[in-house]
A and B are shown apart, each in its own frame.
Chain A
């Protein structure tokens, strides 16, 4: 068997057999499922009734917003400016403003609120609006059909052409009347979540590599091993072995989280909202479709409670893309940093000496996490762009940008640079590592490291 495979195998097996790995594997999904399930639980159990004022300049949505168990709608006929002024004094939870459109059907709305808007309220409004617009489009199509030709139409095409997504932006109105854009979108939660996960994974598994190297040094087994294999093989074997541990952990987390979420939501309700809608639509459309006949369209949106709406929002995310890019940026971000962590482990005698090197090494990662809150506000701005291109910060920052949509070429540039970054740090780290592992009892300075690199 190839020696590097032997090393990978040992590094992998000793770690996945550890009790801490098993505990993390179980706790992680519970935590993640908790993040998803708890809001659903709260959403379904909150009895507080929320009042939403509606200003509909288009007139298309009059009486379309039906009251639910915990959302009540009332229509205002004032202008938006006076409504905003009186909003603070009213009992209203939020103010929905649908601006007038000249030609097209309205697909934008603004939701003003005093605090963060509940994701249920927002999802419900979005559903009602897109439903109504889809109905209008369908009616227009049908009218067109009756007038012009009677050839059979492709139902799939029809459904696709009327599919509408409504964009609702949320603006927070402070008690002093100040307006501030706020974000409760699932994509934003996901952006931050993905970024933190990458940050956490790089840190956690990078320091595992470092500790592994220090362990070999302090237990003095290193010299026995490098008399059998090259120091580079040992370093790469360790880095790859730990990477596989990370991927195993991630895979187990994803699988277990999905199992838990599925199990929990199954207890709330059977099918998701979007499924229910499209089925209903298809049944009605296919159930005898004669021109001239009055088609009864579903006017009422399913009211199945908050759980479905959150699930629908989650279902709308492109998980394969998210998980795929997460895997790439985690893997190569980790590989790039792990080599440097290995170099630190090789240079020092004990974990206590690592601090002076870890801080500068992880500074870019910390910077990326600190910048996250600004990047989500402007995911296409120059700062977001540059930080997502520079390899040291790109794994975290690109994960923040991806849920908002990033041009493919930017992702590819970022990936290519990350790959180069990984090769560069590994080359650098190998030089420090192979000298450091044989040095004992010497305080290592940056000067010394520089000599090793040049050597």
Chain B
């Protein structure tokens, strides 16, 4: 069941098309990665979900019905360009932002106190925002994003500007929120975090969606049947013992072993490679080379651009 879906979203700005017939389905309870190079249209798409701007055409569905203006209270949004009123006191400001999301003052205060003590910033309640370090401001921003327990959370480049300790804290909290049943959309070009957290992704480039689906399925799809073998020293060329159809993409030596990457013909299994090698060398290990999301990303983007 999809918590959110967008079909055929098009957005045209005066000179350029920001989104061209983009269709995306976000399954309930998943962490959904929205990927793409800078300027691909991710932020425009996120602003459309948040109803900050309206699409020229296309449909938006939320919880099985058309997206309504009051749904903003069920959505939490941490924008890439984020900030707080510098001259306002931290607690007062968090209360204000929480109330704008539809919480009553009492409820907002109760929840904020809980979060503030969890993040150990309770002592800053009555300080002005400008006195806070950047990391602390980001904690406050995170809190006000999740304070109204939204069904859908949207993080636009959430880790940019966080130090490693806070990145971990944030990841932990994101997984906690997922565990409570909320759905999360991640917009990023940081592929490492995608592999770690996301279940599903959609890749947007030049205003178009060029790839989407389950992360595992995509990886399987883009695996090239390439294996890395480590073996003892062997003074002949590997080429001489492998048939033409086995492509050696890379050879080298590490501290102890010779290393080679071999791309197998489509129908071949790793066993075939082993059978061919075993009479000549002593094999230490054999691993499949699984493409990283980063490779896939670069591949797909450059491929499509070549086309």
Interface residues of A (CB under 8 A from B): 1, 3, 6-7, 10, 14, 215-216, 219-221, 223-231, 438, 440, 451, 455
Contacts and interface: CB of A to CB of B under 8 A. Distances in A.
Interface stretch (B23-31, B97-105, B188-196): B97-105
A14 B84 CA distance: 14
A440 B84 CA distance: 17
B84 A219 contact: yes
Nearest to A6: B99
A226 B52 contact: yes
A216 B97 CA distance: 13
A438 B72 contact: no
Contacts of A215: 85-86
Contacts of A6: 96, 99-100
Contact of A219 (B73, B79, B85): B85
A228 B85 contact: no
B75 interface: yes
Interface residues of B, number: 29
A221 B85 contact: yes
Contacts of A14: 85, 87-88
21 contacts: A1-B99, A1-B105, A6-B96, A7-B100, A221-B84, A224-B82, A224-B141, A225-B100, A226-B50, A226-B52, A227-B50, A227-B51, A227-B52, A227-B72, A228-B72, A228-B73, A228-B97, A228-B100, A438-B53, A440-B81, A455-B14
A405 to B, nearest CB: 46
B181 interface: no
A155 to B, nearest CB: 62
Contacts of B83: 219-221, 224
Contacts of B100: 3, 6-7, 225, 228-229
Nearest to B77: A227
A172 to B, nearest CB: 53
Nearest to B72: A228
Nearest to A225: B100
B262 interface: no
A230 B83 CA distance: 18
A229 B100 CA distance: 7
B144 interface: yes
A361 B284 CA distance: 79
B47 interface: yes
Interface in B97-115: 97, 99-101, 105
Interface string B45-70: 00100111100000000000000010
B81 A220 contact: yes
A451 B52 CA distance: 19
Contact of A227 (B75, B86, B105): B75
Contacts of A229: 100
A14 B69 CA distance: 28
A185 B14 CA distance: 58
A438 B54 CA distance: 13
A220 B51 CA distance: 18
Given A1-B99, A455-B14, A224 B79 contact: yes
A455 B54 CA distance: 12
Nearest to B73: A228
Contacts of B85: 14, 215-216, 219, 221
A224 B137 CA distance: 14
B99 A438 contact: no
A220 B78 CA distance: 11
